[in-house]
Structure formats: C-alpha cells, structure tokens
Amino acid sequence: DQQVKQNSPSLSVQEGRISILNCDYTNSMFDYFLWYKKYPAEGPTFLISISSIKDKNEDGRFTVFLNKSAKHLSLHIVPSQPGDSAVYFCANDMRFGAGTRLTVKP
Amino acid sequence: DAGITQSPRHKVTETGTPVTLRCHQTENHRYMYWYRQDPGHGLRLIHYSYGVKDTDKGEVSDGYSVSRSKTEDFLLTLESATSSQTSVYFCATLKGNYNSPLHFGNGTRLTVT
C-alpha cells in the first residue's frame, strides 16, 4: 500500500533564499509524483511533476528531485518569493502527504 | 479550476442529520474524486468515480456514500453526520491519463455540531 509522507509540517524562509520541501514514499510502483500548492480557501493546484524514470524536473523557479534508492523526493524553490507562501502537498497514485506550510518572509 | 463548482461552500449541521455535498463539472471529465482535508492528514480520498454509475471506495470511505447519475455531477452523502466528519471537502477531476494532475474545486467547509 502506497504511503506518502511529509514529515515537516512547516517551513519558514527569507525572501530570495532557497526553500526545500521534502517527501518520502513507501511504494515504487507508480509512475509519477506530483506537487500541488494550496492557498487558503482555495483548492490545491498542480505545480510540478516528475516521472519515476527521471531524477530531476525543472520549471522556472521550481525543481523537483527524485532519489529512488532513498524513496525520497524534494521540491526546491529558488528564489523564494512571498507569493510562494502556501501549503505544499506531494502526491502519488491519488494519495497525498500531510502537507508542508511554507512561509516566505519579506 | 477546470470548471468545477462545489456546493454549498459552507454548511453547519447537527449530529445525526444526513448531508449531501455536490460537485459539478463542465469539462466532461470521466474521473471524479472526493477528498477530505484535515490538519495533520493532508488530503485523504473518500470515494472516486470512473464513469456514470461507476464508483469505488477510497481510504476513508466509512460513513460516506456517493452517486454519479450524470457525467457532470458527483454527489457525496453523509448518511448520518458525526463530529468526526467536520472537515473541508474537495472535489477533483482528472483530465487525461492516470498520471495527469487532478483539478480541484474550491472546497466545502462542513461543520457538524
């Protein structure tokens, strides 16, 4: 049974610095890992994904890294902006992690 | 938001009463999902549908039922609401293949007193 875990409930960084959000999983059977971003009073929105056959995917300021041997993925945001303040979820096979609340301070 | 409308946006109800939440989509997506969001648990799948009259259980389906009589509508019913079902409920649709991103509605905040 797949489990997706985000062990850091919150992260605070200074504007312009790097934000690194982490995610661990227990089952390697499924093809894609996705990251979603959620603002208050809105539904989650898709941010970036990575295929299990890759180890990196980049989209502008957002990069996701996948380490299959460690069953770990991370989302890097560089440079972080105050508008990035939100809750970030990683997901795989309809299962979501508990989320990490990112606060970017001006 | 892939044309997803959830109604109502907010509801307060009493323990033991039935409650139905509605999800309406305009994009003709085949797959639809109901999730609940709770602190410390993230988003948990309640039920999903892969077509009209075709539904299946998710990881937290106890106490919930669903119906899909039309492609555009996916209803979530709490047969007898309990305080543990106080949550924010999100509907989502899937466009494309299984690995495509989900598109979410803006949620329904349900409070059971």
| Paired residues of B7 in beta bridges | B22
Based on DSSP, count helices (H) and strands (E) in chain B, helices before strands. Answer: 0, 11
Q: Strand runs (DSSP E) across B3-59, as ranges?
A: 4-7, 10-13, 19-25, 31-38, 42-51, 54-57
B75 Rama sector, left if φ>0, alpha if ψ -120 to 50, beta otherwise: beta
pLDDT at B25: 97
Whole-Å CA distances, B57 to B40, B45, B64, B76: 22, 8, 9, 12
pLDDT tens string B61-110:
999 999 999 999 999 999 999 999 999 999 999 987 877 899 999 999 99
> In chain B, which residues have their Cβ closer than 8 Å to the Cβ of A95?
45, 59
Mean per-residue pLDDT of chain B? 95
pLDDT tens string B2-20:
599 999 999 999 999 999 9
Whether the Cβ atoms of residue A31 and residue A54 lie closer than 8 Å to each other = no
In a mutational test of the B interface, the residue from A3, A30, A35, A94 whose CB has the highest number of chain B CBs within 10 Å is: A94
> In chain B, which residues have their Cβ closer than 8 Å to the Cβ of A49?
99, 101
Higher pLDDT, B6 or A1: B6
Whether the Cβ atoms of residue A89 and residue A95 lie closer than 8 Å to each other = no
pLDDT at B40: 87
Judge: B106–A43 Cβ closer than 8 Å, yes or no: yes
